[in-house]
């Protein structure tokens, strides 16, 4: 398929992620995570690893795992919008703040020649008897969307036999002050349940049974081509002041259970 035909198919869908689906052709997603991917605390090699992408959306992290040489990649997400951890008030008002992305994933996988399996799974439902265990789990911008983030991290621990890379939005760095570790509805627009600061992310992992191995400095989120000039102009001062557009990544391993 030539580049123009690929672009025509891509243009039919509404994208969340910026993904290169063919040489020189990227999806017009609102978020471009390619520079973020270069700064994550990856293991030295993914060769032969069985990997899981939790909350895949259009599939950016799943395809990145595959690109980096993972032996097998499973992508999971909630494909039925009614099963998401939405605010009850939004649900009662009939509001939806997340678009279906199953078609996006399928098209990106087809165009990239990917072998990744997409599973319709809520993070809380992760069960080693159903999905097996994984050498590496990536959880990108999922924790902030969970009503019960600690329960979500515990569920991930059940299926992780190796390492977790947790990437999430973080609040402003008031580390020297007695700032709360997490804020409920921090955006005040119903877009996330909780936003942690960097200490909060680490504490959540430790309480859920993880051992932190490495933490990145604060990362700056990059807008993708899906944001037009007007939207970029509106976001620029907010991001420049550090109010929004900040994230951090942590690599952790499951805490071994002591013999009783």
CATH code assigned at 28:
3.40.50.150
Helical H runs in 44-181?
60-67, 88-93, 102-112, 128-131, 149-158
> Residue 14 pLDDT > 70, yes or no?
yes
Q: What angle do CA 32, 30, 44 make, to 5 degrees?
A: 25
Asked whether residue 260 is assigned to any structural domain, the reply reads no
In-domain check, residue 133: yes
* pLDDT computed for residue 37 by the predictor: 96
Q: Are 188 and 214 in contact (CB under 8 A)?
A: no
Please indicate, yes or no, if residue 259 is contained in any of the structural domains: no
Answer yes or no: is pLDDT of 232 > 90: no
In a domain, 242, yes or no: yes
Q: What pLDDT, on the 0 to 100 scale, is given for residue 239?
A: 45
* Residue 203 within a domain: yes
Q: Is the pLDDT of residue 256 over 70?
A: yes
- Which of 189, 247, 191, 187 lies closest to 216, judged by CA? 247
Q: Above pLDDT 90, what percent of the chain?
A: 66
For residues 73-102, average pLDDT: 76
The larger pLDDT score, comparing residue 225 to residue 167, is at: 167
Mean pLDDT, the chain, integer: 87
Q: What is the pLDDT of residue 241?
A: 43
**Domain that includes residue 101, residue range:** 3-254
Question: Does the residue 157 lie in any domain?
Answer: yes
Considering the domain boundaries, does residue 26 fall inside one?
A: yes
- The pTM (predicted TM-score) of the whole model is 0.87
The SS3 call for residue 169 is strand
pLDDT, tens only, 118-143: 999 999 999 999 999 999 999 999 99
For residue 83, what pLDDT is reported? 77
Domains: count for the chain: 1
Separation CA 234–CA 126 (nearest Å): 39
Higher pLDDT, residue 244 or 183: 183
pLDDT for 1: 76
CA-closest candidate to residue 106, choices 144, 79, 70, 140: 79
| Chain segment 191-200, per-residue pLDDT in tens | 688 899 999 9
Q: Which range scores top for mean pLDDT: 109-118, 177-186, 231-240? A: 109-118
The pLDDT tens digits of the residues spanning 15-66 come to: 999 999 999 999 999 889 999 999 999 999 999 999 999 999 999 999 999 9
Identify the band that residue 82 occupies on the pLDDT scale cut at 50, 70 and 90. Answer: confident
State mean pLDDT over 142-153: 95
Q: Report helix angle 60-67 to 102-112, nearest 10.
A: 20
């Amino acid at each position: 398929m030539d580049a123009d035909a690929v672009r025509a198919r891509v243009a039919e869908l509404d994208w969340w992620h910026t993904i290169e689906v063919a040489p020189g052709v990227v999806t017009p997603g609102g978020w471009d995570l390619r520079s973020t991917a270069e700064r994550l605390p990856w293991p030295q090699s993914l060769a032969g690893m069985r990997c899981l992408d939790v909350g895949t959306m259009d599939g950016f992290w799943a395809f990145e795992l595959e690109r980096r040489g993972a032996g097998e990649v499973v992508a999971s997400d909630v494909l039925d919008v009614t099963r998401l951890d939405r605010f009850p008030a939004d649900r009662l008002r009939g509001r939806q703040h997340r678009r279906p992305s199953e078609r996006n994933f399928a098209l990106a996988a087809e165009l990239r020649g990917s072998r990744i399996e997409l599973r319709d799974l809520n993070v809380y439902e992760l069960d080693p008897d159903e999905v097996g265990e994984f050498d590496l789990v990536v959880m990108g911008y999922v924790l902030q969307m969970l009503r019960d983030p600690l329960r979500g991290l515990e569920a991930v621990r059940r299926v992780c036999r190796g390492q977790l890379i947790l990437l999430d939005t973080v609040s402003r760095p008031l580390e020297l002050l007695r700032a709360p570790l997490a804020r409920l509805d921090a955006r005040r627009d119903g877009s996330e349940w909780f936003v942690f600061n960097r200490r909060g992310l680490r504490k959540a992992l430790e309480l859920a049974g993880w051992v932190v191995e490495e933490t990145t400095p604060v990362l700056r989120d990059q807008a993708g081509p899906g944001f037009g000039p007007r939207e970029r102009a509106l976001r620029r001062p907010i991001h420049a002041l550090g109010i929004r557009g900040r994230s951090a990544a942590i690599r952790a391993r499951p805490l071994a259970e002591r013999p009783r």
